[in-house]
Amino acid sequence: MTQPLPSGDPAPGPQATGPAAGRAPDPVANPAANPVGPGLDDIAAAERLLGVTYTPAERAQMLDNLEGQIASAVARRGVRLSNDVPMASRFDPRLPGFRPPAAPGRVRFSAADPGPLPDSDTDIAFAPLPRLAGWIARGAITSRRLTGIYLARIAALGPKLECFATVTPDLALAEADAADALTRAGVNLGPLHGIPYGLKDLFDTRGITTGWGAEPFRDRVPDRDAAIVGRLRAAGAVLLGKTTLGALAYNDIWYGGMTRNPWNPDEGASGSSAGSGSATAAGLCAFSIGTETLGSITSPCQRNGTTGLRPTFGRVSRAGAMALCWSLDKIGPMCRGVEDTAMVLSVLNGPDPADRSSIDMPFHFDAARGIEGLRVGYLPEAFAEGATAVDHAALEAVRDLGLEVRAVSLPDLPYGSLINVLYAEAAAAFEDLTLDNTDDTLTWQEDGAWPNTFRKARFLSAVDHVQLDRLRYRVMEALDALFADIDVLVGPFMTGPMLVASNFTGHPCLHLRAGFIDSPTRGKASLGSGKLSTGEAADGPTHTVPQGISLWGGLFDEGAVLALGMALEAALDVADRRPPIA
């Protein structure tokens, strides 16, 4: 899922011309549809939806003042709130007494010679960022040629994978030429100078369609750039186009079809950063940008075999990005290597007053940093039922690096219950779609899809929501205690409590390829009943597909996670394998 707080003025939400076919009038949105007001039977029925029970006398007491409560809600709904209006309250992942990681305030990447430029365009396209950056800096390849290689691959493979919503060849070549002119003048803007990338289509791009993957917004053209677009441009990166996302940042179904996994095009790429995962895995860009609310970087990285870094909440500005959940949305790089993610994050990092949740915190990374002394833990329950042989092999590989890996634990808390916070914020972000009945225009209408989820969220209790926020604080304390004893936690991203817990606490996560499994074609991901599923495998022929492992770290301590990730990536030696479609 995904992101907030656009700096531009987004196009207004679509206005309905009447109730959708088959949908009964809403007596709350339209009080005239129910002139009598709520009765005792209505209260009793509502109790069943909320999981509470009142006595007949208690119900009778409510009758005199419920109408005022409803009228207040209806009056508030008369104020239309566009997607860029933030919440007044804001989430801060730091607990009292938080201390930033004790590390030198510098960023240093690999200084090794990138070697000779390959003869094959495909080999160039799949090269890691340190080599691409080295070739450009040395004049071995121009940004224009590199951009042309990726544009040709997009033209050939993009339609098969349905991973680009919009391609911007003229803009890309113009930006590449600008980078080359600077190179000739002896100016290099940094590690992404002249490097072409794909941008998830929920980030505003001035004059370029930004459709959020959803039919009601498919013609939306913003008049400003998102904050990270400006940062990437200032760093010399080249925008190839907008990668697809599942509608409103959920799954891989969008108004242009289903984004496909390059390892098995019969199945979806997972989501919601579906196009970013698919395009990067297939070598259609050097790197891409994804977002995560609950699994939207890690899940497509798992499915497509890419390496994704979900930074600490607040590290990267979300200004100019579609808001799904203000207290959860995070922005991060999706790449083909661990150091690549560090290079991209070094450009994205930085405070921004346009994002109320932005936190000013330096990014520390040293490619030469060793892993000696790192304290590594794992949750035994995460390696129980549901874990694969690849997961267990990855844990052993960490031990083989000479590190002591010990079992750790988290308190027994209902972590999955926190997902109701996501439902409530997402339903609020797109309330107009529900109240105007324009949610019916979205293609994906299954039980787990957003339209149904938004409707059900109207029945969530506000009291429970406050209590969930307090539970969230307990979970923050639990993870704070965990990372006081260890530096990095290793485990499967889906089993165990960490996918939910770490997203709600804002802790960073690196997901990298760890091996391969043979699997039949898998179905769509789903989010419901307090858990996320990446899709069940159907019967049929199997395909060799990638499998990843996750590393979590302390708040704003991505450096430790990246150090272990680089060492593990080298030990596993599976990052260079390419999907058959490539």
Catalytic residues: 200, 272, 296
What's the number of CA atoms in the CB half-sphere (13 Å) around residue 246?
A: 34
Report the alpha-carbon distance of residue 383 to residue 390 in Å, rounded: 11
Contact between 99 and 481 under an 8 Å Cβ cutoff? The reply is no
- DSSP code per residue over 225-241: --HHHHHHHHTT-EEEE
Q: Are strands 330-335 and 307-310 parallel, antiparallel or unpaired?
A: antiparallel
- Residue 515 pairs in a beta bridge with 547
How far, rounded to the nearest angstrom, does the alpha carbon of residue 34 sit from its chain's CA centroid? 41
Sort residue 289 into left (φ over 0), alpha (ψ -120 to 50) or beta.
beta
Residue burial 540-576, b: 16+ Cβ < 10 Å; e: rest: eeebebbbbbbbbbbbbbbbbbbbbbbbbbeebebbe
Report the alpha-carbon distance of residue 101 to residue 560 in Å, rounded: 9
Rg, Å, the chain Cα set: 24
Structure tokens at 132: 């691409």
| Burial class of 360 by CB neighbour count within 10 A (0 to 12, 13 to 18, 19+) | exposed
Q: Which residues contact 408 (CB under 8 A, 6 or more apart)?
A: 377, 378, 379, 482, 485, 486, 489
CB neighbours of residue 133 within 10 Å: 25
> Angle at CA 380, nearest 5°, toward 376 and 385?
135
Report the alpha-carbon distance of residue 299 to residue 277 in Å, rounded: 9
The 3-state DSSP class for residue 105 equals coil
CB neighbours of residue 94 within 10 Å: 18
- Residue 519 pairs in a beta bridge with 543
| Burial class of 324 by CB neighbour count within 10 A (0 to 12, 13 to 18, 19+) | buried
How is the beta sheet containing 537-553 ordered, strand by strand? 164-167, 238-243, 196-200, 287-292, 330-335, 307-310, 509-522, 537-553, 488-491, 376-378, 405-407
Report the alpha-carbon distance of residue 343 to residue 293 in Å, rounded: 22
